[in-house]
């Protein structure tokens, strides 16, 4: 049998899934210029495949154009290489399409830069379940689980590096058969590209080994969730970090504090973008090391926004470079472009409106009763996707972040996903998402 080398070009779409089209490698130069054909309604492919509802109908043409800087070529021992580009959705005139998920992030970063002269560095952590090991008691963080995953992690880290991201760590996580992979920080757009690549490499390596990396937020309603944690910091255009002020509350320089306050302010709406599946809200429940309140916590893994620790002496450049915030209300149903873009928009709102954080409380947040937390002005996170979507729809600023047509399309898209699983019990909902993610 003869084989022709194919190259795939993809976007990570509104369902957080990586989709696109392949072309013969011999056409690469032409395709790098032109892209491949796409239509507006292709953005409305649901998590489960079919297009349930679309404002765009059957008419119209777009191009999915590879970004030459995001090229992945990873050989495997047998069978074809992983060969793809990530790219942008453009109109046939060559302008970015207003609903392109990757461009949503680029636009947010442009707005941040125009208003403040600053940009974002970020790094994604991704938790997932690897099906190539059996579930044994006592495996949490265990060397024994590391041993039994038997080469998967090593192959994954190599694949991530070959694919152009820089691996940071791989660990046996808290839940049954659960692992976590992390890449090093990068400039925001590249960090989101790296997150997409990292997820795909986990799927690719597991597939070659005859197994799956399941990234779905919850595999069982009472299980342990798979979070996507987004570490981020502000820096100037020369790359100088500006997030840390050791003398300020929480160690956050004034502008970083406003950014964080903007994120907290918009958290219920942000959840609709960053925790965007029906199963996502089974993860955001008490006692799962996942957030449940719209709060900031210093080195608190139960908080929505965690002030991360610094492993360097105060006042050093190392401390300033390391210091970051971790956004924990995210999972793999979210496109990294949409999640980070939404975060940047909310943070920028905090800066432009001078929103401030509450002063650090002398009390441990978890020692307070629910009423005391509410009295202190802290809200619960939305407890379901419909509630989060209503919060997004009610957020006046969201029209500017997305643009009206994109916001309407996003809400329609997610509401049709809810309808697709309505009537299923929680276990069946988890099973449905675990088939896909």
Q: Does 298 bind ligand GLU (CB under 6 A)?
A: no
- Tell the residue number behind the tokens 């793999």, with chain if given: 332
Candidate list 82, 88, 127, 300; residue touching ligand GLU; CB under 6 A: 127
Give the total of residues touching Mg ion (CB under 5 A): 1
Q: Which of residues 190-229 bind ligand GLU (CB under 6 A)?
A: 224-225, 227
In the set 289, 298, 308, 397, which binds ligand GLU (CB under 6 A)?
289
Compare residues 195 and 290 and give the one whose CB is closer to ligand GLU: 290
CA distances from 374 to 140, 163, 330, 417 (A): 34, 46, 23, 31
Taking the C-alpha atoms of residue 44 and residue 411, their distance in angstroms, rounded to an integer, is 11
Residue nearest to ligand GLU (CB): 227
How far apart are the C-alpha atoms of 305 and 232, rounded to whole Å?
Answer: 10
- Is 245 one of the binding residues for Mg ion (CB under 5 A)? no
Among 283, 280, 272, 297, CA closest to 402: 272
Q: According to CB under 6 A, which residues from 223 to 242 bind ligand GLU? A: 224-225, 227
Least separation in angstroms between CB 275 and ligand GLU: 10
Please classify residue 379 by burial: count the beta carbons closer than 10 Å to its beta carbon, then call 0-12 exposed, 13-18 middle and 19+ buried. Answer: middle
With CB under 5 to 8 Å by kind, the binding choice for 290 among ligand GLU, Mg ion, none is ligand GLU
Q: Stretches 47-55, 148-156, 174-182, 232-240: which one binds Mg ion (CB under 5 A)?
A: 174-182
The binder of 147, among ligand GLU, Mg ion, none, by C-beta within 5 to 8 A per type, is none
CB 125 within 8 A of CB 194: no
Contacting range for ligand GLU; rule: CB under 6 A; set: 33-41, 143-151, 201-209, 281-289: 281-289
Find out whether 56 and 409 touch, Cβ atoms under 8 Å.
Answer: yes
Nearer to ligand GLU, 109 or 183 (CB): 183
Tell me the window of 111-119, 202-210, 286-294, 405-413 that interacts with ligand GLU (CB under 6 A): 286-294
Token readout for 344 is 């940047």
DSSP state of 331: -
The answer to the question of residue 67 lying near Mg ion (CB under 5 A) is: no
> In the complex, what is the shortest distance from the CB of residue 174 to ligand GLU, in angstroms, rounded to a whole number?
6
Residue with tokens 């996170």: 381
Distance between CA atoms of residues 40 and 111, nearest Å: 25
End-to-end Cα distance, the chain: 32
Q: How far lies 154's CA from each of 201, 216, 420, in Å?
A: 12, 22, 38
Please answer whether residues 294 and 350 qualify as being in contact, where contact means their C-beta atoms are separated by less than 8 angstroms: no
Closer CB to Mg ion, 180 or 426, in the complex: 180
- Considering only residues 300 to 319 of the shown chain, the ones binding ligand GLU according to CB under 6 A are 301
Q: Does 180 bind Mg ion (CB under 5 A)?
A: yes
From ligand GLU, Mg ion, none, interface partner of 266 (C-beta below 5 to 8 A by class): none
Question: Residue 174 binds what, of ligand GLU, Mg ion, none (CB under 5 to 8 Å, by partner type)?
Answer: ligand GLU
- The position carrying tokens 């989709």 is 19
Which among 33-41, 47-55, 116-124, 175-183 is the span making contact with Mg ion, rule CB under 5 A?
175-183
Decide: is 168 part of the binding site for Mg ion (CB under 5 A): no
- Placement of tokens 């997932």 in the chain: 128
**DSSP readout, 359-415?**
PPPSS-GGGS-HHHHHHTTPPBPPSSHHHHHHHHHT-TTHHHHH-HHHHHHHHHHHH
Q: What are the distances in angstroms from CA 65 to CA 3, 37, 58, 82, 93? A: 24, 9, 21, 18, 12
Question: Among residues 56, 76, 96, 174, which is the contact residue for ligand GLU, using CB under 6 A?
Answer: 174
Footprint on residues 387-406 left by ligand GLU (CB under 6 A): none
Smallest distance, Mg ion to C-beta of residue 125, A: 6
Residue length of the chain: 437
- Token pair of 113, please? 């830069």
Nearer to ligand GLU, 288 or 373 (CB): 288
**Is residue 378 at the binding interface for ligand GLU, with CB under 6 A as the rule?**
no
Q: Taking CB within 5 to 8 Å according to partner kind, which of Mg ion, ligand GLU, none is near residue 328?
A: ligand GLU
Contact residues for ligand GLU, defined by CB under 6 A: 127, 174, 224-225, 227, 283, 288-290, 301, 328
Contact residues for Mg ion, defined by CB under 5 A: 180
């Amino acid at each position: 049998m003869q084989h022709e080398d194919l190259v795939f070009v993809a976007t990570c779409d509104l369902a957080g899934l990586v989709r696109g089209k392949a072309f013969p490698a011999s056409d690469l130069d032409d395709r790098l210029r032109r892209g491949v054909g796409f239509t507006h309604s292709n953005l409305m492919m649901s998590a489960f495949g079919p297009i349930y509802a679309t404002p765009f109908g059957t008419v119209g043409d777009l191009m999915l154009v590879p970004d030459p800087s995001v090229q992945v070529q990873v050989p495997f021992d047998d069978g074809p290489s992983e060969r793809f580009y990530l790219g942008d959705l453009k109109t046939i005139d060559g302008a970015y399409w207003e609903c392109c998920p990757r461009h949503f992030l680029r636009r947010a970063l442009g707005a941040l830069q125009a208003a403040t002269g600053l940009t974002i560095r970020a790094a994604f952590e991704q938790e997932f379940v690897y099906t190539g090991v059996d579930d044994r008691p006592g495996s949490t963080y265990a060397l024994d689980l590391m041993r039994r995953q038997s080469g998967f992690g090593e192959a994954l880290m190599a694949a991530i590096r070959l694919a152009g991201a820089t691996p940071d760590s791989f660990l046996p996580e808290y839940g049954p058969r659960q692992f976590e992979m992390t890449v090093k920080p990068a400039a925001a757009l590249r960090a989101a590209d790296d997150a997409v690549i990292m997820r795909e490499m986990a799927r690719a390596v597991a597939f070659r080994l005859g197994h799956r990396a399941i990234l779905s937020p919850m595999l069982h309603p009472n299980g342990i969730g798979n979070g996507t944690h987004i570490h981020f910091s502000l820096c100037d255009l020369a790359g100088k970090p500006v997030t840390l002020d050791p003398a300020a509350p929480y160690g956050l320089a004034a502008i970083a504090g406003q950014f964080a306050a903007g994120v907290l302010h918009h958290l219920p709406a942000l959840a609709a973008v960053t925790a965007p599946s029906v199963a996502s809200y089974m993860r955001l429940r008490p006692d799962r090391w996942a957030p449940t309140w719209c709060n900031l916590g210093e080195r608190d893994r139960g908080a929505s926004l965690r002030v991360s620790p610094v492993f360097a002496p105060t006042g050093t450049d190392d401390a300033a470079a390391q210091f970051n915030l971790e956004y924990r209300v995210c999972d793999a149903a979210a496109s990294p472009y949409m999640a980070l873009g939404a975060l940047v928009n909310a943070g920028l709102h905090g800066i432009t409106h001078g929103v401030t954080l509450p002063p650090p409380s002398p009390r441990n947040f978890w020692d307070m009763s629910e009423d005391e937390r509410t009295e202190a002005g802290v809200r619960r996170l939305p407890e379901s996707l419909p509630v989060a979507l209503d919060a997004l729809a009610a957020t006046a600023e969201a029209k500017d972040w997305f643009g009206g047509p994109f916001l309407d399309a996003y809400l329609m898209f997610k509401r049709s996903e809810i309808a697709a699983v309505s009537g299923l019990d929680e276990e069946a909902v988890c099973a449905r998402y675990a088939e896909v993610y």
